[in-house]
Amino acid sequence: MGYGDVQMIDANGIRNDGRKAGDVRPISIELGVVPVADGSCRMKWGSNDVIAAIYGPMEAHPRKIQRQDRAVLDVRYNMAPFSTSDRIRPGFNRRSREISKVTAEALESVVMLELYPRSKIRVEIEIICAEAGTRCVGLTAASVALAHAGIPMTDLVVSVASGKINDVVVCDLNKAEDNYGEADLPMGILPNSGELVFLQMDGDLSPEEFKQAWDYNMDAAMVIHDYCVEALKTGRYPQ
Amino acid sequence: MSIPLVPQLLRSHLRELAENDQRLDNRSQFEGRDVEIEVGILGNAEGSARVRMGDTIVLAGVKFQTMTPYPDRPNEGGLMCMAEVRPVSGRQHEAGPPSAESIELSRVVDRGIRESGCIDTSDLCIIPGEKAWQVILDLFAVSDDGNLFDAFALAGITALRNAIIPQEKFELGEDRPLVVSKTPIMCSYQRVGGRFIFDANGREELGGDERIHITLGDDNHVHSLQKGLKGAFTAAEFTELMEEARKKGEELRNMVHALEGGN
């Protein structure tokens, strides 16, 4: 089946999981899920289940990776073998490498690396269960885990994707929508300034559709930011 | 790196504690940490479990693939057990290809399950000589505060005992439970401060010597043994550990069975 062949939205604009176009899937956040780490966060988002753990700042070795004026961020995004419908063979692949790279660059934009010259901060993102949008969940969870580790940052990064299905722009695509969708626009947003530190897109969006997807992401990021702040204050969201 | 600059300090501290029959976290010599087991926690796995022992947390997920049976065993499927100790689980764990330690880990856990005969591989045959189920057990460390061996083995057998063969997805009929007839349990002991203790935590592992892993089946039959790290032990010591493993194994086995509603 190709694009648009599967009807995912009914006549009343209700999606296959009962959401309206601008709704985000249910989210829960728990801190301290990796007790041996310096900071950690488990984020469940729809059926996604993601763990982010922080180690550091620590000595950067080998020495050639050290920077005299700042810390280096060592970010790894990885999908556990049992996280998807078909088992994934362990090990790095091109996809996880790219996601690790853009996630690192998004986080480098907010972490105050200049405070820790010559050191390294490790950010480990593990996808335990995947259901569309894992890069967004991973990036958001990593920023919450960094805050939990007490690493100075200028802002959190909240990441969310909108896309298009059956010619309707919708926020936060689920698995079925992602499989049959016509476009996907993930963004990483700094809630306090409204700036972006992460942006990707694939598919086909008209200028109007693009504007709508952009606005959905901006609005959703503010809501998700509130969840993250609540979790950081009390250790979990919802209570 | 968290390896202390002067590990001798830790070692002498552990020796002092052992001489007074004490441990770092006030446990007795053969007392394990509290064990929590949850099942069915991974939405995309056909069987799953999470085990927590103190600050050690592991996940186990079961997936199924179809395989061509081996020519010498045309009527049998297969079991594969893989353990990953990724850098998420501790600052001492580096990224990269599997370390010798994590390969040892998966092989010892694999042997305990395989050799107990708890999975009847002939029950995994779909078309003799052509198609059979391969059961893949993936073990994943979330947080390593010592004794990943026992945590992995416990999570592994629990996940297998709760696994469903996804026959519908492969258009091979209705889904059915994987038949697991036994419950092999691993108990690991490490020499710390001169004596063997059960369920070493991360600090005890760091300052400890040789370790012994014992996997016992339902009738206390021995299914796998492994001695790891530098050190020598006596026959008398081993006899005592076997006796302890029988007691502890029974306790843990009952715990796994209780999750299944008294099986």
CATH, residue A81:
3.30.230.70
B238 burial via Cβ count (<10 Å: 0-12, 13-18, 19+): middle
Contact B87 A49 (CB under 8 A): no
Chain A contact present for B151, CB below 8 A: no
pLDDT at A6 over 80: no
Strand order in the sheet with B211-216: B195-198, B185-192, B211-216, B222-228
In a domain, A193, yes or no: yes
pLDDT at B4 over 60: no
Residues 6 or more apart in contact with residue A4 via CB below 8 angstroms: A166, A167, A180, A182
pLDDT at A1 over 60: no
Least confident range of A181-190, A194-203, B1-10, B131-140: B1-10
pLDDT digits (tens, 9 = 90+) for B203-236: 999 999 999 999 999 999 999 999 999 999 999 9
Q: Spell B206-236 as b/e; 16+ CB within 10 A means b.
A: bbbbebbbbbbbeeeeebbebebeeeebeee
Share of residues in chain A with pLDDT > 70 (%): 98
Q: How far apart are CA B126 and CA B239, in angstroms?
A: 44
Partners of A47 on chain B (C-beta within 8 Å) are: 43-44
Indicate the pLDDT class of residue B6, thresholds 50, 70 and 90.
low
In a domain, A61, yes or no: yes
Write down the residue that tokens 């598919």 correspond to. Answer: A203
Indicate the pLDDT class of residue B3, thresholds 50, 70 and 90.
low
Range B113-126 average pLDDT = 94
In a domain, A2, yes or no: no
Phi, psi torsion values for B114, nearest 5 degrees: -60, -50
Indicate the pLDDT class of residue B37, thresholds 50, 70 and 90.
very high
- For residue B199, the one-letter residue type is D
Q: How far apart are CA A170 and CA A15, in angstroms?
A: 9
**Nearest Cβ partner for A36 among B45, B136, B145:** B145
Residue A7 confidence (pLDDT) = 82
Partners of A130 on chain B (C-beta within 8 Å) are: 44
pLDDT at B142 over 90: yes
Indicate the pLDDT class of residue A11, thresholds 50, 70 and 90.
confident
Chain B contact present for A177, CB below 8 A: no
Contact A82 B202 (CB under 8 A): no
Q: What is the pTM of this model?
A: 0.95
Q: How far apart are CA A58 and CA A194, in angstroms?
A: 31
Residue B1 confidence (pLDDT) = 43
Range B48-65 average pLDDT = 98
- Please give the residue of chain B at the shortest CA–CA distance from A35: B55
Residue A5 confidence (pLDDT) = 64
In a domain, A5, yes or no: no
pLDDT at A138 over 50: yes
Phi, psi torsion values for A55, nearest 5 degrees: -125, 125
Number of domains chain A is built from? 1
Write down the residue that tokens 């890069």 correspond to. Answer: A135
In a domain, A15, yes or no: no
Least confident range of B28-32, B110-114, B164-168, B259-263: B259-263
Three-state secondary structure along B153-221?
Answer: HHHHHHHHHCCEECCCCCCCCCCEECCECCCCEEEEEEEECCEEEECCCHHHHHCCCCEEEEEECCCCC
Q: Which of residues 65-94 of B touch A (CB under 8 A)?
A: 65, 82, 84, 86-91
Share of residues in chain A with pLDDT > 90 (%): 90
Contact B1 A37 (CB under 8 A): no
Contact B43 A37 (CB under 8 A): no
Chain B nearest-CA distance from A112, in A, is 21
Q: Which of residues 1-30 of B touch A (CB under 8 A)?
A: 1
Chain A nearest-CA distance from B44, in A, is 5
Kindly state which CATH superfamily the domain B7-258 is placed in: GHMP Kinase, N-terminal domain (3.30.230.70)
Work out the angle between the directed axes of helices A207-234 and A134-148 (0-180°, nearest 10).
Answer: 30
- The rounded mean pLDDT for chain A is 95
Contact A82 B48 (CB under 8 A): yes
Suggest the residue from B25, B88, B135 to mutate for an interface test with chain A (most A CBs closer than 10 A): B88
In a domain, A237, yes or no: no
Extended beta strands in B4-112, E state: 35-39, 47-53, 56-67, 78-84
In a domain, A19, yes or no: no
Q: How far apart are CA A238 and CA B196, in angstroms?
A: 44
Suggest the residue from B64, B142, B145 to mutate for an interface test with chain A (most A CBs closer than 10 A): B142
Contact B1 A58 (CB under 8 A): yes
pLDDT digits (tens, 9 = 90+) for A24-74: 999 999 999 999 999 999 999 999 999 999 999 999 988 999 999 999 999
Q: Which of A59, A209, A43 is nearest to A130 (CA)?
A: A43
Assigned token pair, B230: 């530098």
Chain A nearest-CA distance from B249, in A, is 26
pLDDT digits (tens, 9 = 90+) for A66-111: 999 999 999 999 999 999 999 999 887 999 999 999 999 999 999 9
Residue B34 confidence (pLDDT) = 97
Indicate the pLDDT class of residue B262, thresholds 50, 70 and 90.
very low
B65: Cα within 13 Å, side-chain hemisphere:
15
Share of residues in chain B with pLDDT > 90 (%): 92
pLDDT at B263 over 70: no
Q: Which of A198, A181, A190 is nearest to A218 (CA)?
A: A190
> Kind of pairing, strands A72-79 and A119-129?
parallel
Chain B contact present for A84, CB below 8 A: yes
Whether the CB-CB separation of A140 and A157 falls below 8 Å is answered with: yes
